[in-house]
A = this chain, B = another copy of it.
């Protein structure tokens, strides 16, 4: 059961350094912003010569691409991982799932605020292409959520006339608002708890007096 391991020591070092550069770029870009970050900053953070950077990435834009792609994949994974719609059959179960998801998102957001900063705040101001990529990511989130809702409709615990697509996008908006609130006040570790609860009630029950 030995895997393919043609990774020489040099090879591993190389991959490690590449990962380190990506990591350093991620930190710098999310902390100071893409435009405020010089390649020299990334190199200095790692204690490497800045020429070394160009042995691993074509140019500044190239590494941003990789950083964003990596981050986007993690975000998509987060969204997709929670998408186990068939696990729930009743409204009660569904509500629990929502709370679990909210909890999960909340934890992720607290653990990785830099990712959120990068995608929500920085990536939208590089160029048209990158901005569209962010839009596409958000759109994907909406579609995943919509599938999730469609499942609820199919199982009969969500309104049969629910506009799953648009509602999915709306829910993504709700999540985004939570992220923005966290980013606005990163030290307030409780803000998302009550927000999550309110959101779960909002989307399940609405606001109207019954």
Binding site for B on A (CB under 8 A): 33-36, 91, 120-122, 124-127, 131-132, 135-136, 138-139, 142, 149, 152, 156-160, 162-163, 165-167, 169-170, 172-178, 180-181, 183-185, 194-195, 197-199, 201-210
Q: CB distance B163 to A170 under 8 Å?
A: no
A152-B207, A166-B197, A202-B206 known; 5 new pairs, CB 8 Å cut-off, are: A159-B210, A173-B173, A173-B180, A202-B202, A206-B206
Q: CB distance A173 to B178 under 8 Å?
A: yes
The binding surface of chain A is classed by DSSP as helix
- Give A98's nearest chain B residue, CB to CB: B207
Q: How far is the CB of A98 from chain B (nearest CB, A)?
A: 10
Q: CB distance A203 to B209 under 8 Å?
A: no
Q: Which residues of B contact A152 (CB under 8 A)?
A: 207
